[in-house]
Amino acid sequence: MKRIFNILTIAGLLIFTVSSCTGYKEKTVKLGGELDSLSYSFGFVNGKIVRDYHLQNDSSKNGFEDLMRGIDEGLKSDGANPETAQAEEMGTKIGSQLRSTEDFYGDSTLTVDFALIRQGLINGINKFEDQMTTDAAGQYFNATMELLMKKRMEAQHGSNKKAGEDFLAENAKREGVTTTASGLQYEVITMGKGAKPVETDRVKVHYHGTLIDGTVFDSSVQRG
């Protein structure tokens, strides 16, 4: 999350105003589903970041307008025009950064809606919380992305997890295999005849770790 939410803090502190104007008016928007809500909440929370770090202590509305013009330009292109005004150049950089975020966490199924991000920015900058508060937006975005990433990981690695569980279930049936309360399985291949170590003893052991297909992932034996 941190990487996404920090996307709008790319240039140092600038001093601008927070104001609404024609074309950059705060308003409620229709959110058609989860991805719409993600895009809007993403923009809304970053609107607060823009307000707190880039729009402060200016009595005019020019800074906000210039910044938004730059963001609009950045959303349409790949870079900033070095000859633009400072606020507009900053906005262009922000817009370009947003433009490069075409989906969340590189997942092509989680495509962003730039129009909703843009309106979320405007509403967040102007503290327009009729539709969603800043806290609610942050909580929703973080919780939803965490859930989506969990589902994605399960889809990618669920088969491996099941294969591992099946292996342990079958392995537990073998003679000599002991399963502890935590689920750890071990087998004593050759019982030693020396004194057994106690909790205060220090021991040196060798281990040989393999996957269920026999692939060695770590081995103190091989390292010597």
Amino acid identity, position 137: A
Radius of gyration of the chain (CA): 28
pLDDT at 3: 44
**Tens-digit pLDDT profile for residues 91-107:** 777 777 776 666 676 67
- What is each CA distance from 52 to 30, 74, 125, in whole angstroms? 26, 21, 8
In a domain, 25, yes or no: yes
In a domain, 164, yes or no: no
Residue 127 lies in domain: 2-152
In a domain, 128, yes or no: yes
Amino acid identity, position 216: V
Amino acid identity, position 153: M
How many domains is the chain built from? 1
Q: Looking at the predicted structure, is the pLDDT value of residue 146 above 80?
A: yes
Name the band, by pLDDT with cuts 50, 70 and 90, for residue 56.
low
**Tens-digit pLDDT profile for residues 44-55:** 888 888 777 766
Q: Looking at the predicted structure, is the pLDDT value of residue 79 above 60?
A: no
Q: Looking at the predicted structure, is the pLDDT value of residue 83 above 70?
A: no
In a domain, 53, yes or no: yes
80 and 74 Cβ atoms separated by less than 8 Å: yes
In a domain, 173, yes or no: no
Say how many CA atoms lie within 13 Å of 108 toward its Cβ.
0
74 and 92 Cβ atoms separated by less than 8 Å: yes
DSSP states of 53-121: HHS-S-SSSHHHHHHHHHHHHHHHSSS--TTS-HHHHHHHHHHHHHHT--BGGG-TTSB--HHHHHHHH
Say how many CA atoms lie within 13 Å of 47 toward its Cβ.
33
pLDDT at 55: 65
Taking each continuous run of H as one helix and of E as one strand, the counts in the chain are 7, 4
Residue 81, token pair as written in the block: 């025009």
In a domain, 42, yes or no: yes
In a domain, 41, yes or no: yes
Tell me the whole-structure pTM to 2 decimals.
0.52
CA atoms of 32 and 10, how far apart (whole Å): 31
Q: Looking at the predicted structure, is the pLDDT value of residue 20 above 70?
A: no
Please give the mean pLDDT across all residues of the chain: 76
Q: Looking at the predicted structure, is the pLDDT value of residue 22 above 50?
A: no
185 and 177 Cβ atoms separated by less than 8 Å: yes
In a domain, 222, yes or no: no
pLDDT at 136: 92
Beta strand 216-219 with 185-187 is unpaired
Tokens 């959110």 locate to 31
